[in-house]
Amino acid sequence: MSKWNKDTTTKEILESVDLSGKKVLVTGASGGLGEETARALATAGASVIMAARDNAKNSEAKERILSSNSEAKLDLHELNLASLKDVTSSAEEFLSKNDSLDLLVNNAGIMCTPFGHTTDGFEQQFGVNHLGHHLFTGLLMPALEKAEASRVVCLSSGAHLICGVNLEDPMFERRDYDGWDSYGQSKSANALFAREFDRRYADKGIHAFSVHPGMIFTELGRHMTEEDMASLIERRKSQVKADEEPTDSTDMMSPKTVEAGAATTVWACVEKSLENQGGHYLADCQLGVPLASEDSSPGSCSMASHILDDEAAEKLWGLSEQLTGAVFD
């Protein structure tokens, strides 16, 4: 069992860790959890590629990190996950400059957005949060394979408990759109992706994990209205049994600091004991715990059964290859 908990910070995780010589790429590094992840790993000595869609914001994030650590090894990289063409160009640019990659942190994402589509016509939360990262990760496989014991860390969410992936209608073409259902679906997809990725590539020395960072107030929630937040709170209340008082272990609405929120991601990157736990869902710097039953109240480390479904994970992988037009060995 991990000695860490929901309040553990990135500084605590990395206190005796030396990442000198390691190369890391963090998507969505221009703010929030991505910026803190980049800052923390750079402080431990890693060379960090900060990938983001907005070059100006990414540059500002880099300067903030350098202001507290002038020795940080940071490079900026453009990545627009809402366009398969741009994702492909971004991966090609990275590979032209880098032979290997030790850690890939798929942190970028959007949450509870109004109904919309990516450049390629995908429902935007599924397209950005899952499909863009699926393609980007696959294209970076040559670099991940060249590194020794590389890892892929995928940001999921406790919101995966909302629903699994609707493989028959992932784009909401034949069902009513709901921002939280879409977000929950995309976060379940992130967890299933990590599970299937590890099954496929663990024998090559590459492991993948999915991570629930906890509730942190960052720009991720910029699309949320008061109604959206009220809806989320009501969903949470309906999950907790009437005879149960909310506690730290059951109240997923208790916000964390950014340093605590990024800690599980950093733990997934460096914790040696996770080497035999590939494909697992992590939360509060611990292994996720299967939700006992539909009648159980979920805690912050709870995993729904649908993200443990290997058949669903394999089907999602096939669908993702079909939608992105890219098949990887």
Question: Could you tell me where the beta strands, DSSP code E, fall in 116-155?
Answer: 151-155
Question: What are the angstrom distances between the C-alpha of 114 and each of 137, 183, 202?
Answer: 26, 11, 37
- Residues 326, 323: Cα–Cα separation, whole Å: 8
Q: Which residues are catalytic?
A: 183
The closest alpha carbon to 136, from 182, 61, 186, 82, belongs to 82
What DSSP letter does each residue of 155-178 carry, written as one string? E--GGGGG----TT-TT-SSS---
CB neighbours (10 Å) of residue 188?
A: 28
Q: Give the three-class secondary structure for 4.
A: coil
- Residues 227, 242: Cα–Cα separation, whole Å: 23
Q: What is the DSSP letter of 297?
A: P
- Residues 125, 56: Cα–Cα separation, whole Å: 23
Tokens found for residue 55 = 């070059």
Q: CB–CB of 166/315 below 8 Å? A: no
Tokens found for residue 41 = 């790993």
Q: Give the three-class secondary structure for 303.
A: strand
Tokens found for residue 112 = 């509870």
Q: What is the DSSP letter of 287?
A: E
